[in-house]
Structure 1
Amino acid sequence: MYRDTEDFVDKYLKELRENNAAVFVGAGLSRAAGYVDWPGLMSPIAAGLGLDIAKESDLVALAQYHLNANATNRHQLNQLLIDEFSDLKEPTDNHKLLARLPIHTYWTTNYDRLIESALEAGGRRVDAKYTNEQLAMTRRGRDAVVYKMHGDIEHPDKAVLSKDDYERYHNSHGPFVTALSGDLVEKTFLFLGFSFTDPNLDFILSRIRTRFTQHQRQHYCLAKRRTRLKNESKAEFDYAVTKQNLVTRDLLRFNIKTIFVSDFPDITNLLQTIEHRYRRRTVFISGSAADFSPWSRAAMEEFLAKLARALIEKDLRISNGFGLGIGGAIVTGAVQQIYSTRQRSIEEQLMLRPFPFGISDATEREKTFKRYRNELIEQAGIALFVMGNKEAEGKIISAEGVRAEFELAKAKGLYLIPVGSSGFMATELWNEVVADIATCYPKNTKKIGSLLKALGQPVKNPNELLEPLLKLIDHLTKE
């Protein structure tokens, strides 16, 4: 990974952890889903005017020419929007990745609903804003706001398309200008699929630049570096590269740094890297205990509390379902460490979801437990498995719930750390991971294998496992 790219990933991750990250999505992402881009949308309009869309760069003016020629009648433009954007397309991998990141603010100039669909499919509650009136209202329980500054396909007659629309924008959509200006000052934006030819955004960025000359917030743009097209002459290619370099330098006036990739799939890979590195800062702890052998309950609770304190001290987040016999100790250690500094809050570093065991219907209970586990695990990057036993019909048996969480964590690509020394299901899982260490940990297999094997050796006191366990977690959070 190039130094600029690594620097971007590190800094954007920091903004994600501090809830300061935002995204601005342009037509490029929608095109990858099968929707037309602006030239594709305006192609029949250009043809009707006797123009060649390939030769036109000012497409806003093109829409205005059409209105001028039709006595400002928008019917054909509205019908074009309906024809091109009414079909429900599947969100791309990039949409899904963005929806899984802890981003709460999304801006777009697109009319489609790909962002909303990706967010909703991920279980998030979306508050979409595309009218001034909607800005004054808040959807209850929302965890993502999508600002559609040029309108929505459900209202094509109000979509921002022509010069008239753009010239009136600051009067007709003044609250959107104010909201975006505020977000650009307070949040770090990642621009994707955006060409920076939109006059509204240019005006807003210019206002911010003149007001915060030396104190603009850093923003980023992911873009594909220009490559030579088929049948393109060297002179045409050189011209395109020169233009791209000039635009890139001009964006620096607004403190927007362009991160170039070689090809579009590299953007997906970069977003996957960001998601992976963000998630590995959260440790999911799975386990249950009705029987604490080979140790005492007091020894195991001391170990779990110390482990939780150490994880919080390392600025990691803990995700836990408050398993029988282990949940209380984890909460105790985590809360004590969180309260030891005023810089942290429980909500930021401890995600606790006690299972609703009171559901009497077996089918409904299983359905609820599955969703619970999925929500707990999908936010983590490391899964730790301890003990895993329960009492059934007077006997102590391995807990199948811990096995279910292991399989789910494995399917979602989490780093798997069973503490084999703790017995029961954890031992069974440890044996499986050690036997297939190269598959579970294809990188640094030898070092990870050595640390993992130490977690399966018999010890008199579980505290002896803390050092190799924390060393392994340290290694995985930095890999």
Structure 2
Amino acid sequence: MALSQEVLDFCIQFATELREDGVGIFAGAGLSASAGFVDWRGLLTKFAKELGLDIDREGEHLVRLAQYSHNHRGTRGHLDAAIIKSFPVMKAPSVNHEILARLPISTYWTTNYDRLIETALGNAKRCVDVKHADNQLPQSMPGRDAILYKMHGDVGHPSEAVLTRNDYESYPTRRPGFLNALSGDLTGKTFLFLGFSFTDPNLDHVLSQLRLRYHDSQRQHYCLMRIPKKADYSSSKEHAYAQARQRHFIADLKRFGIKVLLIKEYSDVTEVLETIERLYRRRAVFVSGSAAEFLPWDEASSKVFFRNLGAKLIDHDFRIVTGLGLGVGDALLSGAIERIHDRGYTRLDHFIDIRPFPRDFSDAAKRQKVWHAYREEMISRVGIAIFLFGNKISAGVLETASGMREEFDIALAQGVAPLPVGATGYLSQELAKNVLKAKPDRFTKINLTCVKKLNSTPRGGLPALLSTIIGSLDKMAAE
């Protein structure tokens, strides 16, 4: 389903801020519901019946309902047991969790007890530092690349979970560090709220304090919210009421710097996250190249071409990922680093991800296995893969570069848009022909148009070819 222009504009902005580590995610119960977990309503339904109450009529008073159940039994053991039963630790993350884990987000917040976010981060081979108690906040896990704040606790510690009214009332004294940390993150990062209803009093307190402190200078945050559907209500009158209530709710959230982005279906959340991931990855380019021979050009002019390519990629704000292919990588890297320093930047890792291949293996089969995994990991970081030349000398004989072919296959398997520069000949030309012969729906029209343009040398030689490459990358990145 097509997203609105407003949502698409947000995706572009969010992807840009991702590259600057300027975003955070706040996950509510709705995100876990997509993985098959019950929400608060499902958790408390049987206890409402025990109290002689109707869970549907309680509406937004579920915290109070949990307290009533605690009061009724004189203990919260049954509530703790319900948490353990309702949120099994081994539950698999949803596709939305997996996308969020793949994105270079360093800050996650959630009110959920489950372990879906940390599981997804682990699946993505990321080191996550989980905080579910206030006394954990001063400590940092070595090598972490993500922090997950579970402000309501963890399924593994149900007796400490924030559930009843007592828990919420004592939160500022029991977990003041979480409130301070959340206040700091909401001040310095752009948050996307997913599956969140904004009924949490602790979040309300933090948002109110930030509004009073910063007034109109608050950081802009975003929330995805589904439009009420007529089929969800018993009458047109009830549907109209839900629409009116949502309008006022959206207007009120603006006071706290939260802009609501309306979607038609819950499945649109996945489309939004996929769009963000695609836009982010399209600004990262994997450069695959191998050249022992440079015909129809000479080596000197080809090296100048590679240097200029590296510089132009930086000029156009692309992140370069490369394994430093034979005859290509050194010149490409030199041009990129020179341009980075010319622009006054010192953090090379913001612009280039260099992955030289390890070569000291006594076992050829082991080396091949390691190299394949190495290539998969590199290419998983990008949205476009460019292929240049593609030849090597083996036992004194010039042949096509098998490593480049493997990288092309991996790129296709991972959904990375291929851009073989057929004009450079050798394997690149063969790969370009393969793309152009593919089924019409295998690649986008823009991708195919760009590959076709680069399949023959334009007038003006290598400088003109360079201009066509950069223009093609810009078009594909904006797709």
TM-score normalised over the length of structure 1: 0.95
- Measured against aligned partners, the alpha-carbon deviations of 1:108-128 in whole angstroms (never above 9, x if no partner) come to 000001111111111111111
2:185 is equivalent to residue 209 of structure 1? no
Whether the aligned pair in 1 keeps the contact of 2:109 and 2:150 (CA below 8 Å) is yes
Inter-CA distance 386–448: structure 2 relative to 1 (3 Å threshold)? closer
> Within 1, Cα distance between the matches of 2:457 and 2:274?
35
What are the residue-to-residue correspondences of 1:73-472 with 2, within 5 Å?
A: 73-230=75-232, 232-343=234-345, 345-436=347-438, 438-444=440-446, 447-448=449-450, 450-453=452-455, 456-457=456-457, 462-472=462-472
Inter-CA distance 47–446: structure 2 relative to 1 (3 Å threshold)? closer
> Within 1, Cα distance between the matches of 2:446 and 2:463?
26
Q: CA deviation at 1:402?
A: 0.4
Inter-CA distance 169–363: structure 2 relative to 1 (3 Å threshold)? farther
Q: CA deviation at 1:421?
A: 2.5
SS of the residue 1:77 aligns to: helix
- Measured against aligned partners, the alpha-carbon deviations of 1:153-182 in whole angstroms (never above 9, x if no partner) come to 110110000111101101100000000000
Inter-CA distance 273–249: structure 2 relative to 1 (3 Å threshold)? same
Inter-CA distance 52–431: structure 2 relative to 1 (3 Å threshold)? same
1:59 — aligned with what? 62
Aligned positions, number: 476
Worse-superposed segment, 351-360 or 461-470:
461-470
Identity %: 44
> Within 2, Cα distance between the matches of 1:50 and 1:438?
61
- Measured against aligned partners, the alpha-carbon deviations of 1:230-266 in whole angstroms (never above 9, x if no partner) come to 5611221122111111111111110100000010111
> Within 2, Cα distance between the matches of 1:206 and 1:21?
20
- Equivalent position amino acid for 2:141 in 1: R
Whether the aligned pair in 1 keeps the contact of 2:417 and 2:447 (CA below 8 Å) is no
Q: CA deviation at 1:82?
A: 0.7
Whether the aligned pair in 1 keeps the contact of 2:458 and 2:465 (CA below 8 Å) is no
Inter-CA distance 149–43: structure 2 relative to 1 (3 Å threshold)? same
> Within 2, Cα distance between the matches of 1:366 and 1:142?
29
SS of the residue 1:120 aligns to: helix
Whether the aligned pair in 2 keeps the contact of 1:12 and 1:21 (CA below 8 Å) is yes
TM-score normalised over the length of structure 2: 0.95
Whether the aligned pair in 1 keeps the contact of 2:319 and 2:351 (CA below 8 Å) is yes
1:476 — aligned with what? 476
Inter-CA distance 14–421: structure 2 relative to 1 (3 Å threshold)? closer
Which runs of 5 or more residues in structure 2 are unaligned? none
Whether the aligned pair in 1 keeps the contact of 2:436 and 2:448 (CA below 8 Å) is no
Whether the aligned pair in 2 keeps the contact of 1:224 and 1:264 (CA below 8 Å) is yes
> Within 1, Cα distance between the matches of 2:206 and 2:271?
31
Q: CA deviation at 1:449?
A: 5.3
Q: CA deviation at 1:47?
A: 1.4
Inter-CA distance 141–445: structure 2 relative to 1 (3 Å threshold)? closer
Whether the aligned pair in 1 keeps the contact of 2:233 and 2:239 (CA below 8 Å) is no
What CA RMSD, in Å, does the superposition of the two structures yield over aligned residues? 1.8
Whether the aligned pair in 1 keeps the contact of 2:89 and 2:115 (CA below 8 Å) is no
SS of the residue 1:432 aligns to: helix
Whether the aligned pair in 2 keeps the contact of 1:295 and 1:460 (CA below 8 Å) is no
Q: CA deviation at 1:461?
A: 5.1
Q: CA deviation at 1:95?
A: 0.8
Which runs of 5 or more residues in structure 1 are unaligned? none
SS of the residue 2:418 aligns to: strand
> Within 1, Cα distance between the matches of 2:447 and 2:383?
18
Q: CA deviation at 1:367?
A: 2.6
Worse-superposed segment, 281-290 or 4-13:
4-13
Q: CA deviation at 1:25?
A: 0.3
Whether the aligned pair in 1 keeps the contact of 2:384 and 2:419 (CA below 8 Å) is yes
Q: 1:69 aligns with which of 69, 72, 87?
A: 72
Inter-CA distance 446–92: structure 2 relative to 1 (3 Å threshold)? closer
